[in-house]
Amino acid sequence: MAHFRCLLFVFFFTILSPCLASQRLNKIRLKKKAIDLATLRAARLRLHDRYRVNINLSDVGNSRFHEYSSTILHSNAVELKNYLDVQYYGEIAIGTPPQYFTVIFDAGSANLWVPSSKCVLSLACYMHPRYKSSQSSTYKVDGSQCNIRYGSGAVYGFLSQDTVNVGDLTVTSQKFMEATREPGLTFLLAKFDGILGLGFQEIAVDGVIPVWYNMLQQKLVSEPVFLFWLNRHAEDDDGGELMFGGHDLIDSIFMCDMCICVHYSEC
């Protein structure tokens, strides 16, 4: 029996060996919420939600990890929270000095957005932290109007540019959307403030360069890889972990009940 039960998503954006050690990683710890009868019922009603974990094993295949070890020089990870085993989210910072937001890390979209201080007509904006461009010394004006549509709704706003901190990584001159309208109950009741898309640039609204693309272009990570470890044990404090730049299996030997590797042929 494995010491850990985990769901491991490894996203490779070039054809690289999934078992090679990585030299530059950024780890983001995951948080989670214990599940009871009420939350299970709520989760069932939200299964259509855009942000659920939705990978078909018959499509991508599965394998079992055994023992791995490597020498890790840098740690690039982000701690995530687990809500209802449906949404996994973590903290990022935007601006100088940093303004903190909790975001969904979404592999199905490519844009970053957070609520704007200029959002005054949507109640959802008042339920979450709002980005204040006037308080950031690294803010740059863009102003292009845009909207981002998801399966559960759309957000509207305009583009801005600023420094974005993800884990220990600092991405400079990152374009993102300041949301000025968040209609519907989805964002009003959400546990997260915004969304950080991890998809390909081809699906990015207005052709914005995604955060993880800029990580590569600015040489913040050595490999075009990010990895999710999603802890499905409700009693554990850790919801899981998101790593950028590769995978780190030196601290723990993962004996996964189910591990999934997804390979992409271009970055």
pLDDT in tens, 97-146: 999 999 988 888 999 999 999 999 888 889 999 999 999 999 999 999 99
**CA torsion through residues 167, 7, 232, 89, sign:** positive
Q: What percent of the chain has pLDDT over 70?
A: 56
pLDDT value at position 195? 93
Ramachandran area for residue 12 (φ above 0: left; ψ -120 to 50: alpha; else beta): beta
* Residue ranges of domains in the chain, CATH in brackets: 90-222+255-267 (2.40.70.10)
pLDDT value at position 81? 60
pTM: predicted TM-score of the whole model, two decimal places: 0.69
Question: Tokens representing 54?
Answer: 């939705």
pLDDT value at position 157? 97
Find the mean pLDDT for residues 250-263.
Answer: 37
Q: Give the integer Cα–Cα distance in Å for 72 and 69.
A: 9
Ramachandran area for residue 246 (φ above 0: left; ψ -120 to 50: alpha; else beta): left
Which residue has better confidence, 32 or 200? 200
Q: What is the pLDDT of residues 138-187, one digit of tens each?
A: 999 999 999 999 877 789 999 999 999 998 999 999 999 999 998 877 77
Question: Tokens representing 197?
Answer: 């898309």
Which residue has better confidence, 83 or 52? 83
Residue 231 in this model has a pLDDT that exceeds 60: yes
